[in-house]
Amino acid sequence: MKTIKLTEDTRKDILDRLLKRSPDNYSEYEKTVADIITDVRTNGDRAVFSYTKKFDQWESHADNIRVTQAEIEEAVRSIDRPFLAVMKKSAANIEAFHQKQLRNSWIDTKPDGSILGQWILPLSVSGVYVPGGKAAYPSSVLMNVIPAKVAGVKKIVMTTPAGADGKVNPGTLAAASIAGVDEIYKVGGAQAIAAMAFGTESIPKVDKITGPGNIFVALAKKACFGYVSIDSIAGPSEILVIADETANPRYVAADLLSQAEHDELASAILITTDEKLAAEVGRQIEGFLQELSRTEIIRRSLDNYGYILVADSMDDALETANAIASEHLEILTRDPYAVMTKIENAGAIFLGAYSSEPLGDYYAGPNHILPTNGTAKFFSPLNVDDFMKKTSLISYSREALMKVHQDIELFAEREGLTAHANSIRVRFEDGI
Beta strands 155-160 and 125-129, pairing class: parallel
For residue 209, give the 3-state DSSP assignment.
strand
* Mean pLDDT rounded to a whole number for the chain: 95
pLDDT of residue 176: 98
- Strands in 208-210's sheet, in edge-to-edge order, are 183-186, 155-160, 125-129, 208-210, 229-230
Average pLDDT for 23-44: 90
Instruction: Note if 327 is an active site residue.
Output: yes
Distance CA(396)–CA(401), nearest Å, equals: 6
- How many Å apart are CA 130 and CA 158, to the nearest integer? 7
Which pairing describes strands 388-395 and 115-122: parallel, antiparallel, or unpaired?
antiparallel
Alpha-carbon distances, residue 203 vs 49, 131, 197, 420, 423 (angstroms): 12, 17, 10, 43, 44
d(CA 124, CA 105): 17
What is the spatial distance between Cα 123 and Cα 110, in angstroms, rounded to a whole number?
30
What is the reported pTM?
0.93
Task: Write out pLDDT tens, residues 292-334.
Answer: 999 999 999 999 999 999 999 999 999 999 999 999 999 999 9
Strand partners, 394: 116
- Nearest-10 crossing angle of helices 189-198, 215-224: 20
> With contact defined as beta carbons under 8 Å apart, do 168 and 162 qualify?
yes
Please state, in angstroms and rounded to a whole number, the distance separating the CA atoms of residues 189 and 200: 15
What's the rounded Cα separation, in Å, for the pair 70 and 73? 5
Judge whether 225 and 12 are in contact, CB under 8 Å.
no
Distance CA 54, CA 252 (A): 43
Which of 262, 328, 357, 368 is catalytic? The answer is 328
Question: Catalytic site residue 328?
Answer: yes
Give per-residue pLDDT as tens, 336-362: 999 999 999 999 999 999 999 999 999
pLDDT value at position 133?
Answer: 66
Catalytic residue among 327, 330, 357, 409: 327
Checking if the pLDDT of 432 tops 80, the result is no
Q: How far is CA 356 from the centre of its chain?
A: 19
- Find out whether 151 and 122 touch, Cβ atoms under 8 Å: yes
Q: Give the model confidence (pLDDT) of 128-144 as tens digits.
A: 999 986 667 899 999 99
Q: How many residues are recorded in the chain?
A: 432
| Residues 425/409, Cβ–Cβ less than 8 Å | yes
Which pLDDT tens digit goes with each residue over 204-254? Answer: 999 999 998 888 999 999 999 999 999 988 888 999 999 999 999 999 999
Lowest-pLDDT range, 128-142, 270-284, 349-363, 366-380? 128-142
Tell me the average pLDDT across 188-207. 98
Residue 158: predicted pLDDT: 98
Q: Which residues contact 275 (CB under 8 A, 6 or more apart)?
A: 310
